[in-house]
Amino acid sequence: MPSVLPIGRVVATESKPSTPHQFYFRTEADVAVGIGSLVRVDGEGRTVYAVITDALAYDNGTGEPARLFLAAVLRQLPESPLQAVPIAPVHLASEEDVGPALRMDAFTGGARPTGIPVGVYAAGGRESPVFLDCDFLLGPEAAHLNISGVSGLATKTSAIAFLLGSIFQTFPRHKGTVAAVCLNVKGPDLCFLDQPGEISADDRRIYARLGLAAEPFADVRYFAPLKPDGVNLNTLRTHEALAGRTEPLIWGLREVLDFAEVVLNRDDIDAKADGFIDFLAERVVGREYRDDLLRPSPFRVETFTDLEEFFRAIFDYLERGRGGEVWRSHHVATIRKIRNRLGNISTRCKGLVTDDGAANDLPWGRFADRAVYAVDVAGLDPLAQDLVFARIVSQLRERLERRDLGVDHVIVFVDELNKYAPTDGPDTYVRRMLIDLSERGRYLGLVLFSAQQFRSQVLRRVTGNAGTALFGRMDGEELATPGYATLSAATRVKLATLPKGELMLRHPHFTHPIFVRFPRPAMLSGRDGVERFPPAPELAFADAVARQLRALDRRVVLDAVRELVDGRRDGDVRRALAATRRERPADALAFFRAALGRRVEPEVAGARRGVAAVRTADDPYVP
Ligand SMILES: Nc1ncnc2c1ncn2[C@@H]1O[C@H](COP(=O)(O)OP(=O)(O)OP(=O)(O)O)[C@@H](O)[C@H]1O
Ligand SMILES: [Mg+2]
């Protein structure tokens, strides 16, 4: 039996009858309910839970305005026979009502609960936790999450950071392990996920209510490409205090070649180009390749420079007129095209793609449970960004398929999705990959969390496949697009005026969207982060090398590195640094010194000591 007084009563007329999916109810003027409030109707042996979607007021001639609300049914108990909502008293939903109203009882109780706290539903001074079902958030039933809303007010990036933290704290052990790959695409946005941020007492209360600790991520590894000089990191996370957890992301020819089709535009990918790339990848790169027609000694192609030498040899051979226009069934035009495109990568992706030394990549095969791998691509050329996306997502996919990534589920967070999967844009490799991820990822445990300002500008095949959708403050123009037609006008008004920290939430278990409030993420935001940890100014070559060595071994002192590096060729230094990074020796400086090799002193030519002329008196040539 309801313990509190009703707030009103269902009213139904012939023109506005109660139905199984919606009903009107009347209240007194001073009742504190509004759009998004949850209510309960008890009568005729049934309980109906509903959410308010519209409000009406009119003067009924008595001087007292009449107030009506329209409510959409969330659930009826018992569920069958399904009938019209009874004409009965209406109550504000209590804390105990929120669970059954949102069907959360099905997944938050029992021996193997799968609830993930996403925020609180607040009404009448009370706050009730709202949970998402991780079977529908991270698979296998449904998967993916998408969030939309205007810049700065919708709190999109913050909401995803908070939710990732919540998942890491509450993802049930019986569901296995989970990690996240966050691609930082904008400024310092995700650069400080491991640093505690300021939150208010209000936020702390919500954390407590949700049973979560207000803490930053404990296990975060940062990867950022280098700047074109090959030693300074291309990220805003360059403060000395954070250097230990920031590693360079460096790929070599091998890593790039596997994704060459990313950098070839659609017209380029014909069977011939494909065939030649396969030939390079399978027969030439990383192995000994012998072709006596080109030159007697075998080729050993490991780097872009080696590859260029190989191409040169082919062209020389063709120019000598030996093979006409064709070398080993590949036409010269195809070979030239691939050479140009690959050459283009090493120029446009300088800093990410290296020619000296070893690659440094995400720890494929050794991903840790509840770890975040943040990759900063904000400073990269769009082509290089595409390459990073393509390689990372493909690696995740392949390894999850083979079950050798190290974890069972991976959440890939892509902010500013409109840049990578726009409705009307060229059909790029990355766009196709995002579609594939959205459509098939859930079977593999590969989950996409994405954010953009305008959902209408992103491919429907990507947003539509997101089982869970969040909406922060929305733009009026966006709300006028057809995607929002199923929402009532009043709900759209609420969306257009949502305060920071409040979101509308769609989830498969909830019959209608629900409004929730979430606390600020407990980590440092990008904006506060750059203030507290200002990026280091770009360092001189030797200093940048010292900084990287010090990240491996705190004892390394700057002067010692300067002395070692002084007068050495940059390429040699980068190679020695790469070798040290790969080896991770206990004494980084000693290893680096050895890798750099003995300094070869330039030969100082002494005064030539010729053979003295034999002077004889009778020599006719002596002056
Ligand atoms: N739960 C919250 N409650 C109140 N304010 C919040 C909350 N979460 C974040 N904010 C504030 O909202 C502001 C914007 O947040 P955020 O950067 O996440 O927005 P965004 O939607 O990602 O914006 P953009 O589209 O520009 O990337 C920040 O100043 C942040 O401090
Ligand atoms: Mg953002």
Would you list the DSSP string of 445-491? TEEEEEEES-GGGB-HHHHTT-SEEEE-S--HHHHTSGGGTTS-HHH
For residue 498, report the distance from its CA to the centre of ligand 1, in Å: 12
Cα pseudo-dihedral 198, 201, 207, 211, rounded to 10: 130
For residue 525, give the nearest of 247, 236, 240, 249 by alpha carbon. 236
Residue 142's identity, in one-letter code, is: A
Shared domain for 381 and 480, answered yes or no, is yes
Stretch among 20-24, 200-204, 552-556 having the lowest mean pLDDT: 552-556
Q: Is 437 left (phi over 0), alpha (psi -120 to 50) or beta?
A: alpha
157 lines ligand 1 (CB under 6 A): yes
Indicate whether 620 pLDDT > 70: no
Q: Are residues 588 and 623 in the same domain?
A: yes
Average confidence score pLDDT of the chain: 90
The answer to whether residue 268 scores a pLDDT higher than 80 is: no
Query: What are the tens digits of pLDDT across the range 542-586?
Result: 999 998 898 889 899 989 999 999 988 888 888 888 888 888 899
Answer whether 195 contacts ligand 1 (Cβ < 6 A). no
Position 302 scores a pLDDT of 86
* Cα–Cα distance, 527 to 380 (Å, whole number): 20
pLDDT confidence of 58, banded at 50, 70, 90?
confident
Residues near 3 by Cβ (< 8 Å), separated by ≥ 6?
Answer: 94
For residue 8, report the phi and psi dihedrals to the nearest 5 degrees.
180, -160
Query: Is 568 part of any domain?
Result: yes
Kindly state whether residue 101 falls inside one of the protein's structural domains: no
Containing structural domain, residue 452? 137-168+178-239+371-387+410-529
Residues 293 and 433 in one domain: no
Please give the order of strands across the beta sheet that includes 126-133: 126-133, 115-123, 514-517, 502-506, 468-471, 145-148, 446-452, 409-414, 178-184, 372-376, 220-224, 246-248
pLDDT computed for residue 231 by the predictor: 87
Looking at residue 155, its pLDDT comes to 96
The residue count for the chain = 623
Residue 392 in domain:
no
Q: In angstroms, what is the span from residue 189 Cα to ligand 2's centroid?
A: 7
The answer to whether residue 310 scores a pLDDT higher than 60 is: yes
Query: Which ligand ends up closest to the CA of 148?
Result: 1
Q: Which atom of ligand 1 is nearest to the CA of 518?
A: 1
The confidence score (pLDDT) of residue 501 equals: 96
What Å distances lie between residue 1 and 41, 77, 444, CA to CA?
A: 11, 14, 46
CATH number at residue 193: 3.40.50.300
Portion of the chain with pLDDT greater than 70, in percent: 94
Mutate to test the pocket of ligand 1, among 500, 502, 515, 530 (most ligand atoms within 8 A of CB): 500
Lowest mean pLDDT among 185-189, 349-353, 404-408: 349-353
Instruction: Please check whether residues 494 and 620 belong to one and the same domain.
Output: no
Instruction: Read off the pLDDT band of 153 (50, 70, 90).
Output: very high
Q: What is the CATH number of the domain that holds 50?
A: 2.40.10
Spatial separation of the C-alpha atoms in residues 129 and 296, rounded to whole Å: 73
List pLDDT tens digits, range 351-390. Answer: 888 876 678 899 999 999 999 999 999 999 888 898 899 8
Give the rounded percent of residues in the chain with a pLDDT score beyond 90: 66
> Would the CB of 525 count as within 6 Å of ligand 1?
yes
80-89, 126-135, 420-429, range with the lowest pLDDT: 420-429
Pocket probe for ligand 1: among 118, 158, 471, 478, the residue whose CB has the most ligand atoms within 8 Å is 158
pLDDT in tens, 68-107: 999 999 999 999 999 999 999 999 999 999 999 999 999 9
User: Could you tell me if 90 and 52 lie in one domain?
Assistant: yes
Q: Let me know whether 327 and 434 are in one domain.
A: no
Same domain, 271 and 225: no
Among 529, 559, 575, the domain boundary falls at 529
Q: Does the pLDDT at position 220 exceed 70? A: yes
Q: At what angle do helices 332-348 and 304-319 cross, to 10 degrees?
A: 150
CB 253 within 8 A of CB 378: no
The arithmetic mean of pLDDT across residues 337-343, rounded, is: 86
With a 6 Å cutoff on the Cβ, whether 453 touches ligand 1 is yes
Last residue of a domain, one of 469, 494, 529: 529
Alpha helices in 349-448 (DSSP H): 382-402, 417-420, 429-444
Confidence label for 622 from pLDDT (cuts 50, 70 and 90): very low
Which of 378, 365, 341, 337 lies closest to 256, judged by CA? 341
pLDDT of residue 434: 94
Q: Which candidate, 134, 255, 257, 236, places its Cα nearest to that of 189?
A: 236
In a domain? residue 106? no
In a domain, 110, yes or no: no
Ranked by mean pLDDT, the top range of 281-285, 375-379, 428-432, 617-621 is 375-379
Q: How many domains does the chain have?
A: 4
pLDDT of residue 62: 78
Residue listed under structure tokens 């009213």: 11
Asked whether the predicted pLDDT for residue 604 surpasses 60, the reply is no
Q: DSSP states of 136-195 as a string? A: HHBSSSSB-EEEE--TTTS-HHHHHHHHHHHHHHHS-GGG--EEEEEEE-STTTTTTTTS
Residue 248 is assigned to a structural domain of this protein = no
Residue 401 belongs to a domain: no
Amino acid code (one letter) for 10: V
Residue 309 pLDDT > 60:
yes
List phi, psi (to 5°) of 533: -125, 75
The ligand whose atoms approach the alpha carbon of 498 most closely is: 1
Could you tell me if residue 1 is inside a domain? no
| pLDDT band at residue 447 using 50, 70 and 90 as cut-offs | very high
For residues 526-539, b (16+ Cβ closer than 10 Å) or e, as one string? beebbeebebbeeb
At 611 the pLDDT is 53
Give the residue, by CA position, lying nearest to ligand 1 atom 2: 501
Å from CA of 80 to ligand 2 middle: 44
Q: Is residue 6 pLDDT above 50, yes or no?
A: yes
Does 565 sit in the ligand 1 pocket, CB within 6 Å?
no
160 lines ligand 1 (CB under 6 A): no
- What pLDDT shows up at residue 272? 83
- Do 162 and 85 belong together in one domain? no
**Residue 265 pLDDT class (50, 70, 90 cuts):** low
Amino acid at position 378, single letter: A
Predicted local distance difference test score (pLDDT) of residue 357: 63
Query: How much is the average pLDDT of 532-548?
Result: 90
Q: If you average pLDDT over each of 23-32, 243-252, 501-510, which comes out highest?
A: 501-510
Is the same domain home to 569 and 515? no
Confidence of residue 599 (pLDDT cuts 50, 70, 90): low
| Residues contacting residue 308 through CB under 8 Å, at least 6 positions apart | 339, 343
228 and 143 within one domain: yes
Ligand 2 centroid–CA 279 distance in Å is: 42
Do residues 418 and 478 share a domain? yes
Considering the domain architecture, whether residues 446 and 565 belong to the same structural domain is answered as no
Task: Judge if the beta carbon of residue 520 lies within 6 A of ligand 1.
Answer: yes
Query: Among 42, 64, 95, where does a domain finish?
Result: 95
Position with higher pLDDT, 145 vs 319: 145
| Whole-angstrom distance, CA of residue 371 vs CA of residue 410 | 10
